[in-house]
Each structure stands twice: as structure tokens, then as C-alpha cells.
Amino acid sequence: MLFSEAAALGVPEAMRGMGFMLTRGIGGSKDLVQANSYLGKAVEGGDSYAAHNLAVNYKKGDGVEPDRQEYLRLLRIAARAGVPEACALLGDELSAVDQDAEAFQWYLRAAASGHAPAMFVAGCWYRGGVGTSVDGVQAIRWFLSMLDRGNADGIHQAIDLARYMTADQVREAGRLAGREADAELLLRRRG
């Protein structure tokens, strides 16, 4: 009830909330067309998370005809506002068309916002020099940073990479990640 009242008053976050509820059928019937209407109004009101949600609907064709151009336009709005998921998706889209330097910047922005999958990509791309120069310190930094999100998917990459780096480089990566103890473990692990 409060969402609908606030949405009627033009509150963008409430319009996004109504869009979400209608998308999922929470508190009533699922209505994707009406959901997208609310999301569109929220975007007009400056809600960047609504832009991300509506972008995904345009990609999937949920309640609208799939429209790649509109998907990318909305995704850029959300990414420029710093929505981590949108930054990562934009990175995916740019990578798919070999715009690796720009894709890397969006992945890095998502990683800095705490998006664990983007941290993994940043680590891999720093390790391989994709869209950026090779930088083992930064690679290990992002692999270790994933641990803060409860995600250990990058630990094997960090272990492998640490074998070819100096102790000072590994320690610097740990310092940058705020995971100095884990950096010491990497050093012990390499024997």
C-alpha cells in the first residue's frame, strides 16, 4: 500500500518498487507491461537501479519487445550512475564486441564496488593483459579481494600467480586488498 501511494506521488524509488512487485507478482498478479511502465517512470525520475532493471527486461523481452539499443542505452545510464551489476553487464557487452579497454574500465568499476564476478574478471584481465597492461600485483589484489565477498573462486589463480612474483609484490597485492595475512599464506604456499 505504501509503495503505491509513494509511487502515485512520483517517488522514483517507490515506482521502482512497484515495478519490482509487479514483475514478480508480489502482493498481486504479475503484470510485466505495468511493471515496465513504473520502471520507465522511475528512470525518468533519475533512479539508476530502475534503469538497470528495465534494461534487463529489454534484453530478455519481459513485457516489451527485445530491443538491444534500448537495453544498451539504459545499461549505460545505470552503469554511469555506478550500479555494479550494470557496470559488469556493460563490460560483458563491450568485451563481446572486442572493445576490451573500455570493457576493462567497467569491470574495474564494478570490482571496486564489491562485485565479486567483476573482481575475478579484473584479476584475470590484469594477469593476461586484456584491455590493460599485465600487472600481477593488481591481479592478485582482485583475486584476494573476492574473499571479502565470501567468494574463493580466484584463490587458485592467486596461488599460481604468486609463484612467479617476488615476496614484496605479493605483499603489496595483499596490502591493496586489505588481506595481508592471506598474502603471507600465498608466500608460504609457494615453498
In order of start, what are the domains of the chain with their CATH numbers? Answer: 1-81 (1.25.40.10), 84-191 (1.25.40.10)
pTM of the prediction?
A: 0.90
Question: What distance in Å separates the CA atoms of residue 179 and residue 191, rounded to the nearest whole number?
Answer: 20
Classified as helix, coil or strand, 25 is: coil
Cβ–Cβ < 8 Å for 79, 106: yes
Classified as helix, coil or strand, 64 is: coil
pLDDT of residue 9 exceeding 90 = no
The band of 1, judged by pLDDT with boundaries at 50, 70 and 90, is low
pLDDT of residue 156: 95
pLDDT of residue 2 exceeding 80 = no
Residue that is written with C-alpha cell 608460504 in the block: 188
pLDDT in tens, 57-103: 999 999 999 999 999 999 999 999 999 999 999 999 999 999 999 99
The band of 191, judged by pLDDT with boundaries at 50, 70 and 90, is low
DSSP 104-169: HHHHHHHHHTT-HHHHHHHHHHHHHTSSS---HHHHHHHHHHGGGGT--TTHHHHHHHHTTS-HHH
Question: What distance in Å separates the CA atoms of residue 172 and residue 78, rounded to the nearest whole number?
Answer: 33
pLDDT of residue 6: 82
Asked which of 3-7, 22-26, 89-93, 127-131 is least confident by mean pLDDT, the reply is 3-7
pLDDT of residue 98: 97
In degrees, rounded to 5, the angle at the alpha carbon of residue 71 between the alpha carbons of residues 69 and 75 is 120
